[in-house]
Structure 1
Amino acid sequence: VRTLTGHSSYVFAVAFSPDSQYIASGSGDRTLRLWRVSDGAQKWSWTSDIALRAVAFSPDGLTLVSGSGNVGPTAGAVQLLRTSDGAVLWTRTGAAVRAVAFSPDGRTVASGSQDQTVRLWSASDGTEVRTLTGHSDYVRAVAFSPDSQYIASGSRDGTLRLWRVADGTELRTLTGHSHYVLAVAFSPDSQYIASGSGDRTLRLWRVSDG
């Protein structure tokens, strides 16, 4: 249909807005850009201090969250921006961020970082709700279940972990991959989790018992 040009380095992340009108892209050129789907026009561009590696829209499409960080154990940040004009609503700094997700109920943002943690943030004001610890290497992927009750995280430690959002309890550790877990996703009915790994396999897990 079209090619959207403007980034000057790798594009690490893309996401459609819920209404399908816009695409957000994060790049190694340190910019987050919003594009109009209908004609490919760039609506706005926001520049970070470091590479933008993850992006996700809120369920209502009014905001989007981005995660930034360089390769290695360097500083990073989670930012919430307003979709209409790219204004930054809040920023929280810490370890390099490799993954972000918005809860389907719009209340919580999750970030996965190189400090081996998953952090939950209040979408309204950026307050840190809790830190989920247990992984022994970078967290490369995070996903909320469609009912917003659970979070799945995938790590370079080769494990997939399932957490309860309400209190941060780790419900189970799913093992079987022989390399990094790079992608996670819940089924629409919240009954299954799919994981993709550097071991070249895709695994399907049942949420109820792993």
Structure 2
Amino acid sequence: MPRLMQAARPAPMGEAPLAQHIGQEVATGAHVSAVRFISGAMAAALGDGTVRFWEPGVPEPESIVAHSGPILAVATHAEAGTILTGGDDGLVCRVGLSGAHPVAETGGKWVDAVAAAPWGGIAFSSGKAVTAIRSDGTRREIATNSTVQGLAFAPKGRSLAIAHYGGVTLADMQAKPSANRLLAWMGSHIAVSFSPNGRYVVSAMNENVLHGWRIEDGADMRMSGYPSKPRSLSWSPGGAWLATSGADCAVLWPFRGKQGPMGKQATPIAFAQALVTAVSCHPVSDAVAVGYADGAVVFARRGDDAVIPVRAADGDRITDLGFDAGGHLFGYGTEGGRLGLLDLRGIGR
């Protein structure tokens, strides 16, 4: 695959960051592991084992204790108003404003990854072992040859993607283990994601590259050119583009058409002097939120050099960011424990 395209760095806009106009920001005192949105509120998982639920207009988020140590993995649960968390205390919990409810445990071993299916099933990993629990409570154990780094359910199917050393395993939750399919590629695969249409699965690798497969025929593709690990992956509405972190810009790979990104160039947007650490595509438009290692956040758009400053750089690395399902709310978290929440409906009021 060709290396990343180069483009001119856009001049920053003269206006103050959006967060100063329509946003709220608070200090939590703990590293922010992940940011999700559920039922009109931001749910932020922290390194102190708590989940902070924050609604627009409320001065401070509500804190729910979920784990006795850091939260290591997070997924949005199919049950409204809850997220699924995994901690270094060996617990897997469903967490909402009513509290934290353990759903599984590993005997004290770290929970490395969690995933939740739209149909209600969940999965989690600890070391080389993966446990899948169907919505009816039936459990299935899946053993791998190396430590599992990432999990993802197919958006409309019953497949579970398992990222590990040597590739990605696709496990059919309703078939025998012998039906598992290995998508092999040498190296350590540390995150995995299905395209929204379920045609592609893409993994982030420890070798500063992405690797993807077209599921129908196993055709694979290598997406390279990153100076650091592209850990953050986000699909545009409909899956036409995959936005990624790992460079001094957000990198957008095209997935339209039968060939996907094979033989095509990536599109870079929102260049900066710092590495991109988090990306999130707006759910109903072509905008992309981009967070950087220096703490800055901007909104950018494919095909447009302009960016909208959201948060000014302060040296506090952005660890995660995202929109709610309607694209009305936006939130971010930092390595130093700051949370930001913006109600985008407030723009122009």
Give the TM interval when normalised to the shorter protein: 0.7 to 0.9
Query: Which whole-Å CA distance do the structure 2 matches of 1:205 and 1:31 have between them?
Result: 39
- Between the aligned residues of both structures, percent identity stands at 23
Structure 1 counterpart of 2:27: none
1:190–1:207 CA contact under 8 A, matched in 2: no
* Residue number among 116, 136, 144 corresponding to 2:235 in the alignment: 144
* Pair 66,193 (structure 1): closer, same or farther in 2 beyond 3 Å: farther
Offset, 1:150: 0.7
Structure 2 counterpart of 1:67: 163
Query: Which whole-Å CA distance do the structure 1 matches of 2:185 and 2:238 have between them?
Result: 28
Structure 2 counterpart of 1:187: 282
Offset, 1:159: 3.8
Offset, 1:98: 1.9
Structure 2 counterpart of 1:84: 174
Listed one character per residue, the Cα deviations across residues 176-203 of structure 1 (whole Å, up to 9, x for unaligned) are 373561x332121141223445444544
Instruction: List aligned pairs for 1:198-209, cutoff 5 A.
Output: 198-209=293-304
- What is the TM-score of this pair, normalised by structure 1? 0.80
1:100 matched to 2:205? The reply is: no
2:130–2:142 CA contact under 8 A, matched in 1: yes
Offset, 1:158: 4.8
* Pair 114,140 (structure 1): closer, same or farther in 2 beyond 3 Å: same
1:193–1:206 CA contact under 8 A, matched in 2: yes
Amino acid at match of 1:5: E
2:167–2:182 CA contact under 8 A, matched in 1: no
Q: Which has the higher strand share?
A: 1
1:159–1:176 CA contact under 8 A, matched in 2: yes
* Residue number among 231, 245, 250 corresponding to 1:154 in the alignment: 245
Unaligned runs of 5+ in 2: 1-99, 306-349
* Pair 154,184 (structure 1): closer, same or farther in 2 beyond 3 Å: same
Query: Which whole-Å CA distance do the structure 1 matches of 2:107 and 2:300 have between them?
Result: 37
2:200–2:213 CA contact under 8 A, matched in 1: yes
* Pair 82,191 (structure 1): closer, same or farther in 2 beyond 3 Å: same
Offset, 1:22: 0.8
Query: Which whole-Å CA distance do the structure 1 matches of 2:266 and 2:240 have between them?
Result: 12
Offset, 1:109: 0.8
Unaligned runs of 5+ in 1: 70-75
Query: Which whole-Å CA distance do the structure 2 matches of 1:200 and 1:37 have between them?
Result: 39
* Pair 91,198 (structure 1): closer, same or farther in 2 beyond 3 Å: same
Query: Which whole-Å CA distance do the structure 2 matches of 1:146 and 1:7 have between them?
Result: 39
Amino acid at match of 1:31: A
Instruction: List aligned pairs for 1:94-133, cutoff 5 A.
Output: 94-128=186-220, 130-133=221-224
Q: Considering Cα pairs closer than 8 Å and 6+ residues apart, tell me whether 1 or 2 has the greater RCO.
A: 2
1:175 matched to 2:271? The reply is: yes
* Residue number among 222, 225, 232 corresponding to 1:134 in the alignment: 225
1:58 matched to 2:190? The reply is: no
Query: Which whole-Å CA distance do the structure 2 matches of 1:46 and 1:7 have between them?
Result: 17
2:170–2:182 CA contact under 8 A, matched in 1: yes
Query: Which whole-Å CA distance do the structure 1 matches of 2:273 and 2:125 have between them?
Result: 28
1:31–1:47 CA contact under 8 A, matched in 2: yes
Structure 1 counterpart of 2:10: none
2:250–2:276 CA contact under 8 A, matched in 1: no
Offset, 1:68: 1.6
Listed one character per residue, the Cα deviations across residues 21-69 of structure 1 (whole Å, up to 9, x for unaligned) are 2112233x1122212456xx46112121222111111122311212124
2:124–2:131 CA contact under 8 A, matched in 1: yes
Q: Secondary structure at the match of 1:124?
A: coil
Offset, 1:170: 0.8
Offset, 1:152: 1.0
* Pair 175,95 (structure 1): closer, same or farther in 2 beyond 3 Å: farther
- What is the TM-score of this pair, normalised by structure 2? 0.51
Query: Which whole-Å CA distance do the structure 2 matches of 1:7 and 1:142 have between them?
Result: 31
Q: Secondary structure at the match of 1:2?
A: strand
Q: Secondary structure at the match of 1:96?
A: strand
Bigger shift: 161-170 or 102-111? 161-170
Counting matched residue pairs gives 197
Superposition RMSD in Å:
2.5
